[in-house]
Structure 1
């Protein structure tokens, strides 16, 4: 049976983070992995208006911004309001081995998917090794046997 250690500092940090969280600081959960010659990021953005999503790259920094509008109305009586609203942003620092000019973005079912290709110069490649025969020197008469 696995046991879990209680970490009072980690728990305090979690509680303070939850208490101090503002809509602008709410995280965008992300999965990031490499598949063959591209990196793929899946970023959860449920309830976000697709027209509010902005993705840009400047100096190898990828910035994602999105907005979730709050429901408003005088006739609303909130019983629980846990879903953050407002503008969210997340930045990723990209290495020099990616093709920033070929990044693709798609938003489907509340998930933003970014496909970031590996740059051609960063792809592994096989280098062929040529083989040259050393020049052979053949001298006449010294190594020949008489046939007779």
Structure 2
């Protein structure tokens, strides 16, 4: 069976990727970390795993919710009240929401936090069936 190659309409396919990362290229890493939460996702032994880098966060300042197929991680880095000579740390709220796989079991979620790394594990059940297309008949 022959495969058809899709003709690229945009002459510079990598340009959109470059613009998407544009702000991060010209900011200090600490500033970029203020507004983003870096994650890693993978599947292992029948579980969906999400790891989030959250250095300097106390576990009491973490909030994890699962609702309607969406995992939301919220964190707050609070500023210490000390007389500082200089500070390059960033403080404030971080939030990241991720769509769970279709087969995720929202009642089987575990989370651990150690050494600045939050690891969330969600059990995977059977794959839910794909949506069924229904034929529509025309009436006069």
1:48 to 57, 65, 68: 57
Tell me how many residue pairs correspond in the alignment: 111
RMSD: 2.8
1:95-106 equivalences in 2 (<5 Å): 95-106=101-112
The question of whether the paired residues in 1 share the 8 Å contact of 2:24 and 2:32 is answered with: no
Task: Give the structure 2 partner of residue 107 of structure 1.
Answer: 113
Structure with greater strand percent: 2
Give, in angstroms, the shift of residue 16 of structure 1.
Answer: 5.5
Once residues 48 and 108 of structure 2 are traced to their aligned partners in structure 1, the CA distance between those partners, rounded to angstroms, is 12
1:77 to 74, 85, 94: 85
**1:31 counterpart = 2:46:** no
1:1-148 equivalences in 2 (<5 Å): 9=19, 12-15=22-25, 26-73=35-82, 75-78=83-86, 80-81=87-88, 83-119=89-125, 121-122=126-127
String of CA shifts for 1:45-103, please: whole Å, max 9, x gaps.
11101011110011111110011111333x3221x41x321111100011321111101
Q: Which runs of 5+ in 1 are unaligned?
A: 1-6, 124-148
The question of whether the paired residues in 1 share the 8 Å contact of 2:39 and 2:51 is answered with: yes
Once residues 41 and 8 of structure 1 are traced to their aligned partners in structure 2, the CA distance between those partners, rounded to angstroms, is 26
Please tell me whether Structure 1 or Structure 2 has the larger radius of gyration of its CA atoms.
1
Q: Which runs of 5+ in 2 are unaligned?
A: 1-16, 129-140
TM-score (ref. length: structure 1): 0.63
TM-score (ref. length: structure 2): 0.66
> Runs of 4 or more off by more than 6 Å in structure 1?
none
